[in-house]
Chains A and B, each alone.
Chain A
């Protein structure tokens, strides 16, 4: 808040210029200004787990597919056998003083290894709870609302999808990719 110093200055000048004018009633204006800001809204991601399909054994013939369900995290396979543990990708978006938010995700079209690739089709889901209640998200973005100023929120997102076209001629090794997700909070 800014309060002007004009008043005492003007008052002093009036007294010096008209010492006889005690009957006068001087007036002046005092400007007061305040800048009122919303509490700053903020949000940030936290990555809980990466998306891991585990190990698939190459088929002797034909092609195979490995899928991780983004809603429940379950792994399934056809045409190949799998081993090792799998994990659904999961991030949380937490924020405060947020009224609405939009999360966008971009999935790679393939998982790659030096000199090779496997086709990948991404899928994702969201929930207000970390371990249950996930709903599939269609498309590349999801918009939600929060309670605004003075509150905080957390939303959870899971990432799964399907790795397909696994064949005998594919190179053995670790194929990897990166899912990019971003959020705008208002």
Chain B
């Protein structure tokens, strides 16, 4: 008996259209933290002066005398305001010396001071990451002072600031 075997072999190659995946991507963008601070550097000092009939001036823009100084620094602020409150007089031993406060500002600590008109100094549209402004405080003790009691006369000057 003859037996013819017919063998068919079929080889199939399969393509696999595989998988897909998604990878998330993100970044958080934060507002810069705004900060600012006042720094007292020196108190003002008219020094020792003789009684006279003239005004006694401590010019905050000049280089003579010892004006009070403070600085105001900050980061990421777009604007700031500095307000000053001058008392009307210096107080001594039961007496008052009338005076007018004056102040000036600069962006460098030792030069370039310009007088500030009024009790408020503002800056807007600041585009720097950080800033530093320097202030000097002086004023004028009104004469005549020849009837004033000798001694030390003092006053406190209030300074406040804000930034955003």
A57 within 8 A of B: yes
Contact B6 A175 (CB under 8 A): no
> Does B23 contact A32, Cβ atoms closer than 8 Å?
no
Please determine whether A51 and B26 come into contact, CB atoms closer than 8 angstroms: yes
Q: Most chain-A Cβ atoms within 10 A of its Cβ — which of B11, B19, B26, B29?
A: B29
Contact A178 B22 (CB under 8 A): yes
The number of residues on chain B lying at the interface, defined by a beta carbon within 8 Å of a beta carbon of chain A, is 39
Point out the residues of chain B lying under 8 angstroms from A91, CB to CB: 21, 23
Collect the chain A residues with CB atoms within 8 Å of residue B76's CB. 60
Asked if B47 CB lies within 8 Å of chain A CBs, one says no
- From DSSP, what is the main secondary structure of chain A's interface residues? strand
Q: Which of B17, B27, B33 neighbours the largest number of chain A CB atoms within 10 Å of its CB? A: B27
> A150 contacts which chain B residues (CB < 8 A)?
none
* Residue A118 at the chain B interface, CB threshold 8 Å: yes
**Are A176's CB and B25's CB within 8 A?**
yes
Structural contact, B15 and A186, CB atoms closer than 8 A: yes
Task: Give the chain A neighbours of B4 by CB distance below 8 A.
Answer: 27, 29-30
Q: Which residues on A sit within 8 Å (CB–CB) of B29?
A: 55-56, 58, 113, 118, 166, 170-175
What are 11 sample pairs from A and B whose C-beta atoms fall under 8 A apart? A28-B3, A32-B7, A42-B18, A51-B26, A55-B28, A60-B32, A60-B128, A66-B27, A118-B27, A179-B22, A184-B18
List residues of chain B with CB under 8 Å of any chain A CB: 1-33, 76, 78, 126-129
